[in-house]
Amino acid sequence: MGTVSYDFSNETVVVTGGSSGIGRAIATQFGAAGATVVIGDVRVDPKDTDATTPTHELIENDGGVATFERTDVTDPDEVEALIGVARAAGGVDVMVNNAGLFVESSWEDLTPTELDRIHAVNVRGVFFGCQLAALDMLDRDDPGVILNTASISSELAQFGQVQYDASKGAVKMITRGMALELAAHGIRVAGVAPGQIATEFIEGWTEDATETEAFQKPVPLGRAGTPEDVAGAYLFLASEAAGYITGELLWVDGGWQLG
């Protein structure tokens, strides 16, 4: 297959949930492409079992420019502070609303507290991330790109995941609704829908996971994806190559939805 490279020099990219997993891969790939990366997360240290260096330090060690801002995306004031850090670096060119939470529970046992918690991160966090990034772009009259981490659960139900499916379905509609509202301003909004990705997002999934009892059906490509498999989709959607794409979800799932 051919190769592709991106140049995000002189652009500022914000990645929530950028300390671990998919967010870490997104941040490091944007950093390698020359972007100034602003990472927002509730923790600076990665959760990944094979990683010890914080993401922003990893980018800097490779010659890039990055910073970390402790951010709880359920609090719009903290998201606004994160946007302020990006504003000081020139303003948000690409906003990646990636922070997410997975709570596995049967519908019988799910508590109101658990439901509120997952929606606070996955829905409230994404909405205000979109809102505040868009307001920064409009204030500077410099339209950019907003990317949201959706999921195969945005469209497909899975056992034991009613609450997660509902939250990711909301991410899909936030993406589509914001894309419609912001198109007149030249701001594109799109999403990435990862499938079964081997990260610490779901306890027990590791990078060498393939077909285990944790999976509910086989992946046609024969393995779980890695964060690196997913991250390239964000760079593509943020680039000029995707300049006529808005309101769409790009599925990165190894063909999972085909079966």
Q: Which residues are catalytic?
A: 164
Length of the chain equals 259
Q: How does DSSP classify residue 145? A: E
Please name every residue paired with 15 in a beta bridge, in sequence order, or none if there are none. Answer: 39, 96
What's the CA gap between 43 and 69, in Å, rounded?
9
Instruction: Tell me the residue type at 112.
Output: P
Torsion sign (Cα): 140, 150, 197, 108: positive
Q: How does DSSP classify residue 197? A: B
Closest CA to 137 of 185, 179, 180, 175: 185
Q: Which two tokens stand for residue 62?
A: 């490779």
Contact 41, 68 (CB under 8 A): yes
**Angle of the 162-182 helix axis to the 112-119 helix axis, nearest 10:** 30
Contact 148, 174 (CB under 8 A): yes
Say which residue the tokens 């609303």 belong to. 97
Helices (H), 141-211: 162-182
Secondary structure class of 94 (helix, strand, coil): strand
Q: What are phi and psi of 196, to 5 degrees?
A: -80, 100
